Amino acid sequence: MNRELPKVYEPQEVEGRIYKMWEEHGCFEGHRDPDKKPFTIVMPPPNVTGQLHMGHAMDSTLQDILIRFKRMQGYAALWVPGTDHAGIATQIKVEEELRKNEGLTRYDLGRDKFLERVWDWKAKYGGRIVEQQKKLGASCDWSRARFTMDDGLSAAVRHVFVTLYNKGLIYKGSRIINWCPHCTTALSDAEVEYKEKPGHLWHIKYPIQGEEGRYVVVATTRPETMLGDTGVAVNPNDDRYRDLVGKTCILPLVDKEIPIVADEYVDMEFGTGCVKMTPAHDPNDFEVGLRHNLESIRVLDDDGKINENGGKYQGLDRYEARKVIVEDLERLGLLDKITDHTHNVGTCYRCGTDVEPLISAQWFVKMEPLAREALRVVNEGEVKFVPDRFSKTYTNWMENVHDWCISRQLWWGHRIPAWYCDDCGRMTVSETDPTECEHCHSTHIHQEEDVLDTWFSSALWPFSTLGWPAETEDFKYFYPTDVLVTGYDIIFFWVARMIFSGCEHTGKPPFHTVFIHGLVRDDKGRKMSKSLGNGIDPLVIAEQYGADALRFNLVTGNSPGNDMRFYTERCEAMRNFANKIWNASRFLMMNLTIDRCELPEHLELEDKWILSKLNSVIPEVTENMDKYELGVAAQKVYDFIWDDYCDWYIELTKSRLQGEDAEAKINAQKVLCYVLTHILKLLHPFMPFLTEEIWQALPHEGDFLMLQRWPEHHVELDFPEEEKAMEMIMDAIGAVRTRRAEMNVPPSKRAHLTVSTLEQEVFTAGIPFLKRLGYGSDVTITGVAESGSDADQAAKGMVTVITHAARISMPMAELVDMEKERARMEKELGKSRAELEKLNTKLHNPGFVNKAPANVVEAERERAEKLAALIAKLEEQLQAM
């Protein structure tokens, strides 16, 4: 017996119950099947510290839509979930908690005890975001959930590190790196965000040694680093300074001789054409220093304070030191001038602190050899970006990539598997913890303190989660994965690193498609952030409107690669859509006496129309889904459900459902049920909870809608002629109803309809619909020649509407009180003309047009156009009367 649906759809009651049912029955599990083609997605692992935000909701929804779609298409679908240990973010969070609750630092606890606290924190809070993802319907195989510091994944990290080290692709060296004084760790180039900030250029005089009164003037944005200057560089082609090359100058405040060198790097047009060289604090100066054997002197410590090499400025914060140094230069008469200068300042992606370039001994990955293959697979189309424009973003970055700094000065993370010998000083790199030095066999060894960049482990995610480096059955079946769904903001952080890692370690790129989505912004177009206080909690929205409404809002507002604005009001519209489907389903259930949803042998005109429309929309939606045009696909499903099925087909069948003909009643039920089950399948990837709940109440075979086959096109259900005929009738009904609404005629007031058409057979078949839905008291079908002209019709007191296939006339007297309607329309016409005249006066006033904001002027022009159209329509209607 079919289950009756409650009067009101309550997503809060349905969603948790449905999700639990899916989970308990193993609906999300991905299994190897030799008879099926695999389809694999790995979830971009959210930070274990994370709480679901709207970006996560977007990312998760798009992946879930794809995996549900492919599962229904018959693929062995696997969606691998997991979380990332998020080195910096997690350590900072635990340190803050420790300091706040116990007044302790990590150093008070020591490394081992501190890491115990982090693992405890992870056990307590690490599953929070997983539970939140479930509330949005994420159909991941949770039995395969992984964490980037799981034993198997950690073993993969060590294997990769040792392999690359033995190939000479990982090395340790002193180079300029990006340093965050707040997080006190090195950062890779990708972790530095550049922000345009107002600043200054300080022009400083460096006296020439032995030439009284002669100076070179250097311009710098960071006067505090001059304490570490070891040279001044000029361009060898610069005639102004040619005679100074090879001489020395005096470094102000430090009173030390430094050489003047010639180097092509120097831009003669910028500043004074003289550049101070601080090899320990600038990447370009570092390279110049190597070419000219300049000393590297680091003058900042890890906290951004001047160190012992800074003389009397030692202990001052870098910005305090800047102020004091400028004052001292001015006092000594060595400050030539200060000019305003806007420049890009590197900031830490995590905390926003200004990054300090400084020389440091760190671990690096040589990128140039790895980038070659990663570029080839994209350039040759083995990996495609959707939209394609992001492939250019990727290739530009990879063609200019620098060596990757992979060491981080943290305790939480994968500790670098390198051990130093206390006796011979040499290093042992090993996948397993050694007990002795591999060189001198001393047991006095200690491990590297640093950990690996978090992105080092997540770069292996598509294959380490499947058991690699072991040749597991899962790895052989599910790898390479199919599509990566992610935002454009982590193409460099993660996408590029996965591609070169997959190519290097497995011989195959990790996926064939990178589906890029944009950011979810607020309704004003601003990025959502804590500082602006404009973040929207997706769980609050889901609780208020239902997860399905939130999902549908996110996907219909989305086009690949583009940012979208989030409007809460649209969730209300999507909830109304859910209610529309629910009410349509309830209507069918209340009229349902059949126990199988199958098509009848005999089909009426309206049945063939809806089946033909359904048969057209199925391949279109499928093609859009295959092209990752998920927003377009969702809109087509929405339009078919709302316009064709709910607003038209249900209305077209009501007379049969409520009539006395038993066979006609059963046939209408069968088509209604057949179309609804297909609608639910098409809609399921987008609105999984609602569709599963309705499907469970309908006659069905199988246990779950989510495991049903995706609808396919059936050529025998193409009825182009009947579809065309039915739409002629519908156009006529629509035109009549529109004109009646314009004239404020209530549905209860019926009128005789005269249809003049060349398609007399079609409209004769449509008479029942014209009478019931076009509010016709009676219907007469005539040929075109019999109807007369529009003027003739108007003279006879007829209201005429025209479609591409027919002219439909209605006696005006049967619809309205002519005098009252004429008076009403003339009043509206006069009011509209006066308003338009006032508006045109405003728009012809140069004071308004030139001074008002462009959007205001444009809005007024649009209002004028609408008024002009309304006036024309009113005049036409009055003339017809």
Contacts of 430 (CB under 8 A, 6+ apart): 162, 417, 419, 438
Give the CA distances from residue 44 to residues 60, 84, 171, 226, in Å, rounded to whole numbers and listed in that order. 9, 9, 28, 43
Give the CA distances from residue 116 to residues 109, 113, 120, 154, 183, in Å, rounded to whole numbers and listed in that order. 10, 5, 6, 17, 21
Give the CA distances from residue 475 to residues 157, 462, 483, 543, in Å, rounded to whole numbers and listed in that order. 16, 10, 16, 38
Contacts of 652 (CB under 8 A, 6+ apart): 606, 769, 773
Element (DSSP H or E) covering residue 354 = none
Q: Using only C-alpha atoms, what is the Rg of the chain? A: 36
Sign for the pseudo-dihedral over CA of 92, 95, 100, 104: negative
Q: Is 530 annotated as a binding residue?
A: yes
> What is the rounded CA–CA span in Å between residue 317 and residue 323?
10
Q: Which of 732, 568, 591, 753 is nearest to 666 (CA)?
A: 591
Q: Report the C-alpha dihedral over residues 51, 57, 58, 60, rounded to 10 degrees.
A: 100
Contact indicator for 749, 815 with CB cutoff of 8 Å: yes
Give the CA distances from residue 800 to residues 732, 735, 760, 789, in Å, rounded to whole numbers and listed in that order. 11, 10, 18, 10
DSSP-derived secondary structure for 600-662: -S---HHHHHHHHHHHHHHHHHHHHHHTT-HHHHHHHHHHIIIIIIIIIIHHHHHHHHTSS-H
Give the CA distances from residue 678 to residues 76, 135, 178, 296, 720, in Å, rounded to whole numbers and listed in that order. 22, 25, 56, 71, 20
Task: Please count the other Cβ atoms lying within 10 Å of the Cβ belonging to residue 332.
Answer: 11
Structure tokens that stand for 829 in this block: 């016409």
Contacts of 679 (CB under 8 A, 6+ apart): 581, 614, 637, 640, 641, 645
387: preceding bond cis by omega (within 30 degrees): yes
> What is the rounded CA–CA span in Å between residue 259 and residue 209?
10
Q: Which residue ranges are tagged as binding site? A: 530
Q: Which residue ranges are tagged as binding site for ATP? A: 530
